[in-house]
Amino acid sequence: MKTTQPILITSVTAAADLTTATNLFIGFNGSICTNGVKPLGILSASTNIGEQAPVIAKGIAIVLSGAALSAGSKVQSNASGKAITYTAGEAAGFALDTASGADELIRVLLS
């Protein structure tokens, strides 16, 4: 079983309906993070628009993969807020687990 080890949990006002966005990268603007943009962190609970969304900003958090990736690789957000191998833009952290494809829960050490 994969577990989180949050060091800092903060909140941001949900700018969109985040009821299905748990375990996705969330931007500083309160929306699902887009490709290559630095995320505030990873959403840890379902949140309605206008409510305070709990975001793990530092530590180890669980995120959905957007493609296959290797443990130890630097990751970034894709256009859907999922972790992919870093190519350009802002890095979000480092994968602690391997994913064989999209939509797998992996641990990420946030940076």
Tell me the pTM.
Answer: 0.96
**Predicted confidence (pLDDT) per residue in 8-43, tens digit:** 999 999 999 999 999 999 999 999 999 999 999 999
* DSSP code, position 99: B
Q: What is the pLDDT of residue 8?
A: 98
CA dist 20 and 24 (Å) reads: 9
Per-residue pLDDT tens over the stretch 48-98: 999 999 999 999 999 999 999 999 999 999 999 999 999 999 999 999 999
Residue 38, both tokens: 């630095």
Q: Mean of the per-residue pLDDT values for the chain? A: 97
